[in-house]
Structure 1
Amino acid sequence: MEPKNYRFETLQVHAGLPENRETGARGVAICPTAAYRFRSCDHAARLFELSEAGNIYTRLQNPTTTAYEERIAALYGAVGALAVSSGMSAILVTVLSLASRGDNIVASPLLYGGTYNQFRISLRNMGIEVRIAPNERPEAFEALIDDRTKALYVESMGNPTCDVPDLEELGAVARRRDVPLVVDNTFGAAGYLCNPFEWGAHIVVDSATKWINGHGTAMGGVIVDGGNYDWGNGKFPQIDGPSEGYHGLNLHKAFGRAAFIVKCRVDGLRDLGCCPSPFDSYLMLLGLETLSLRVRHEVESTRRLAEYCRSHPKVARVSYVGFDTHPSFGNARKYYRFGSSAVFTIELKGTLESTVRFVEALHLAANMTMIGDSITVVTHPASTTHKQLGEADLAAAGVTPTLLRISLGLEDVEDLIDDFEQAFAHVEE
């Protein structure tokens, strides 16, 4: 099939689906193998020198995972995708494929707590500087770029504040300064709600654990290459230059527009080993088949629950991009289908202690660190996802002691409202 001829809802079911003429099986087979037989020693040599495509070892590639990667690439209209073991490994492989010791990337201040820690601690210990912009205005990013900057990094919707950056203007900065724009599009639901490539992004990373899987049953991440960056501009010798690991092979000359995603696979997965299992890739494929149906329901429920919370006397503030009072309302309408997402935050009146009582009184909504699940999740960032951050970083990320992040699931929203109502009874005025 030609992916460009079909819409998202069709691609989420058909893209990457191999035709099994021998068995006629409708589903993708799970290939639980670590290794693959070579036809000859010459065949093996061609695979290892990257002159022929094929399966070598499941750390690098697996037929089930390949079908999953092809579907993700089709949904984004991208040149290629790489499945990895988690969203955090997707970020790590991406950055390490772009930057080396002494280089830097410029990042948004509105990041998931785990990303903050990776950027501020782990990458720093590897000699890569992450410059956190003071705000998400494009000029704030541009002011931090120098000749060692290897990427701009932003989330298409900040976690947990749900702020939406001006992707088009950031893309313009990236083009003007000739650096790739990397967007964490986890909240964009594999391109269904938001496709950053349409606005100037060059690379997308997703935590597939969330909406792609959609049922809280598997960990995973994806890296997606838009194929729209010129890797031959002299800034990335590890891509357009002799490869140390492949006897001087020039990835840009050998693979053209797909050079970056090949780099992530043949160096990133080979050396870091953060590959998904074939069974997890199968679960991701199943999740993708219903993604648009699930997300549409969740977005509708989010608006209804946000309206309920906005009118409740024990809620101090509701941050929902679908309300015109949200600072990102305009950007959400521009970049997100339906102008919103399936996540919002509230700040309760009261204290840390009363907020904890509310969370622990919920019956249907789960107290977990998760979004994009089929069940509704209420997360207290100050004691979970952003627990490791200091006061200054918490303030920059918009995290307060009474802030709650709410990710809607597939329940009837009226039942969720009833659950919230009984939980509010445990919070004194």
Structure 2
Amino acid sequence: MNKLKYCLMAATLLVATSIGFTSCSDDDDPESTMNPAEAEVKANKKHDTAILLCSFGSTYNEATPIYDQIVSEFKAEFGNQADVYLSFSSNTCIGRLEAIRNEAYYHIDDWLNAFAEAGYSKVAVQSLHVIPGEEYLSVMNTTVKKNFMIRDYPHVNVLKSANLLDSDEDTEDVATALYNHYKSDLADKKHILLLMGHGNPNDSYNANQKYADIEVAMQAKTGGINNVFVGTVDYGKMLFWPWDEKTKKPLATPNPECIYSKLTKYCADNNLQPEEVTVYLAPFMSIAGDHAHNDLWGLGDDDTEIELATPQSDYSWRMKLQHMGFKIDNTETHPADKADADHGIESGCKIKALGDFPEIRKIWLNHLKENWNDSDAWENGEDYQPEA
């Protein structure tokens, strides 16, 4: 139910943003067609190497401190040899954060083009994505390689650095960080940790397997209780209740990979009723944004409608769980008295995303460090140019 409201809000924001950009343009002003990132890059260039941190972005205030922390940590590690910048691939997120923070944010390709024009000879592109999915591959293969390296600036040397869950070791490190945080809450069978990942709607991407791998790695740490489950908000088989990708309607029968099936099987295997089980909810995403607030916690849902929040409905996971009878732990959520805040609050929200964990942020940092001095890891587009 609440998704219609948020779609309308997003559409209104997009129209308003478009109108704002149109009203500020001037066809007779040559500066109106300039790359908006160029002036900032030229003013702040101190080295010959740039590091570009790439994320989809978020319209939520709670996300900005995490991004600020990540930028700060990369500057602390590489600041004496490279200039560090943050980029988003979502224009909606860029427009929203510019409005609420009164700061300039730019698209990935705007930053890249500005780097080349400012004379950077080397550019390291560090993904802040969680899985090697459609968004990650679009950035690395199309925006960075095809457009920037091959088509536009083949002379610039580029290092493309991996997403969070690039290797089995990464999976184990993330699972360890998360389990250690929730360990005391998962000591008995009457407590469950439920993680919501984003997921790829396209099943042809092997990236969705990363969620299953995390679940296996965390289950292995529970001493046989196996009370950690991972689902997604955008991948049909791993939704709360499976959907038919063609009809966009709930399937008649739930599959074993969906959250509903996992929870009901867990209760049956342990001779428990949902009313006896407390569930901890957390986003398996880099930041606590729209999905964490609305699809997971349902801060915009009307709690008087819990009886309508069936497992097949469009309500949040929290509401569906309560409909099924589960108890929800509210230790790590948005303050109840600020649930109506427009796109979150800058402080006070206790929802913990992956970027909140220093151990997990360090994985992104280490991905760049491990290839920084490897000359073979840096490449340019000259080898892809047609012969004269």
Q: What's the TM-score once normalised by structure 2's chain length?
A: 0.29
Higher helix share: 2
Q: What's the TM-score once normalised by structure 1's chain length?
A: 0.27
